[in-house]
Structure 1
Amino acid sequence: MEKEKQAGKKQVVDIEEFSKSGKPVPKGQQYLIRVDNQRITLTEYLITGEGILMIAGKNPPTRFQLNLKLRGGIVKRIGLNETVDLSEPGIERFMTIPMDQTEG
């Protein structure tokens, strides 16, 4: 790994695999996340809920709810302006739900 840093290459860290194995996610790498059935590589470990929705092609992001699935089956709703730290332990994947706009 030290040679990779010296060569300027960043390791791609699959956060879902790290979470399932209980290993801590290192900072300063590229991060492979899963949003629904898409796998997306990010270069930063901090991203907003809106940012995740945008890179996943969920436009406009205000029409979607973003949920974070954590290790152990816990699901947490992520707001558009909420920042997610991908290096936090336990993050497995992200799920989106379209929000219906029904007027009565």
Structure 2
Amino acid sequence: MKEIIDIEEFAKQGKAVPKQMDYKIRVDRVHYVVNVEYMTGKEILTLAGKNPFNRFQLNQKIKGAVNKVDYDQKVDFTEHGVERFMTLPLDQTEG
């Protein structure tokens, strides 16, 4: 069984995240374990149960900054400084 790497802890300690492992990622307040090195914004939203995914915006906290993640953008969990993810419901305004 592969080791589970908590990417948030590695980022806080300034350590490089090894490749070819399982990764614990945090979306909002919930932790998920994934066995891939990267996922798209859409895949992360779907994993977190944000359906339909296009009603939500995904933000990534990396090295203390917050960046928007597009639905088709690949997020590499082994990239240095990746901490966690936050979702934001998009308000649907009518007419």
TM-score of Structure 1 vs Structure 2, range by shorter chain = over 0.9
Matched with 2:35 is 43
Aligned length: 95
Greater relative contact order (Cα < 8 A, sep 6+) = 2
Distance 1:23 1:30 in 2: 16
Q: Report the Cα offset of residue 48 of structure 1.
A: 0.3
- Encode CA deviations 1:63-97: one digit per residue, 9 max, x unaligned: 000000012x2000000000001000000000000
Q: Percent identity?
A: 52
Q: Does 1:78 align with 2:69?
A: yes
Backbone CA RMSD of aligned residues: 0.6
Higher percent of residues as strand: 2
Normalising to structure 1: TM-score of the pair?
Answer: 0.89
Structure with greater Cα Rg: 1
Q: Distance in 2 between matches of 1:19 and 1:11?
A: 17
Three-state SS of the structure 1 residue aligned to 2:85 is strand
Structure 1, unaligned runs of 5 or more: 1-8
**Which residues of structure 2 form unaligned runs of 5+?**
none
Structure 1 position 103, deviation (Å): 2.0
